[in-house]
């Protein structure tokens, strides 16, 4: 018996199925979609099978520093810079941090203070220098009539080299600093301070390319076209109270520079 049907009968059967609501068809033989496909035969001596020609597409290598430079350069203002940093995908520190710690104080202040990285309290609150070290910093600034909550010539602006807390407050790694440095430089350019205060070894390394804060402190340098004074980090002063004398001398030096430029 011939099981073939003509074209008109096949069309009529198909239209009837569509009217009945059929949306898909299946074959008479079930297909195991979880079954792994058999591996292709390996080419070898005596196999008689030639190795297939598979086009290889090279994956472009990502340059995190170049992407950071492009993102920072494209930011026209501080709000855009903060958004660009939040969207930057290559720094692993972001995954373990609660908050991006961007800044505190008054943008456009004469003095811009640059710390190292957020600690536990800074990560929790989302602002730099809010723990014990931050409280000491506020007292130090108040001693020369400056503060993050003041106006005009007495205001300061504060940020860090890194916007995210390193695990266990460890020192930043070189690649982490390299990725964040373009953002820091753009931050300085947009904030437009007259003087930079770099606190601690990490800040000195980032902007001056040097470490050894006990040797560098109190010695004026230059970075990003601005005068820079390295100072002890307040956390260091909490561990080494005897160093407060040198810190006070540096504060007086900073105050003299601001008075001279006023």
Q: Supply the pLDDT for residue 247.
A: 97
Whether the per-residue pLDDT at 92 is higher than 80: the answer is yes
Number of domains in the chain: 1
In a domain, 138, yes or no: yes
Whether the per-residue pLDDT at 12 is higher than 60: the answer is yes
101-137 pLDDT, tens digit per residue, is 999 999 999 999 999 999 999 999 999 999 999 999 9
In a domain, 151, yes or no: yes
In a domain, 61, yes or no: no
The band of 1, judged by pLDDT with boundaries at 50, 70 and 90, is very low
Whether the per-residue pLDDT at 22 is higher than 70: the answer is no
Domain ranges, residue 92 = 66-261
Taking alpha carbons only, the member of 184, 228, 209, 211 closest to residue 91 is 184
CATH number at residue 199: 3.40.470.10
169-192 pLDDT, tens digit per residue, is 999 999 999 999 999 999 999 999
In a domain, 240, yes or no: yes
Q: Supply the pLDDT for residue 6.
A: 72
In a domain, 42, yes or no: no
**DSSP string across 19-79:** HTT------SS---TTSPPPPPPPP-TTT--PPP-----PPPPP-HHHHHHHHHHT--SHH
In a domain, 216, yes or no: yes
Q: Supply the pLDDT for residue 144.
A: 98
In a domain, 36, yes or no: no
In a domain, 252, yes or no: yes
Mean per-residue pLDDT for 193-208?
97
């Amino acid at each position: 018996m011939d099981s073939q049907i003509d074209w008109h009968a096949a069309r009529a059967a198909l239209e009837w199925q569509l009217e009945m609501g059929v949306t898909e068809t299946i074959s008479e033989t079930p297909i195991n979609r979880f079954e792994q496909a058999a591996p292709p035969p390996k080419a070898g001596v005596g196999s008689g099978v030639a190795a297939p020609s598979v086009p290889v597409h090279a994956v472009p290598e990502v340059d995190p520093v170049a992407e950071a430079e492009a993102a920072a350069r494209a930011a026209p203002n501080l709000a855009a810079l903060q958004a660009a940093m939040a969207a930057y995908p290559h720094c692993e520190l972001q995954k373990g941090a609660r908050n991006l710690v961007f800044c505190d104080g008054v943008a456009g202040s004469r003095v811009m203070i640059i710390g190292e990285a957020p600690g536990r309290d800074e990560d929790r609150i989302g602002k730099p220098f809010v723990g014990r070290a931050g409280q000491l910093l506020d007292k130090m600034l108040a001693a020369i009539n400056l503060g993050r909550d003041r106006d005009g010539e007495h205001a300061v602006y504060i940020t860090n080299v890194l916007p995210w807390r390193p695990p266990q407050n460890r020192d930043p790694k070189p690649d982490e600093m390299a990725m964040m440095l373009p953002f820091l430089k753009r931050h300085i350019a947009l904030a437009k301070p007259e003087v930079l205060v770099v606190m601690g070894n990490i800040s000195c390394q980032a902007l001056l390319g040097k470490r050894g804060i006990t040797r560098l402190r109190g010695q004026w340098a230059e970075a990003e076209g601005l005068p820079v004074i390295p100072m002890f980090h307040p956390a260091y002063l909490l561990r080494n109270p005897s160093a407060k004398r040198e810190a006070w001398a540096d504060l007086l030096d900073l105050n003299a520079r601001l008075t001279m430029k006023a």
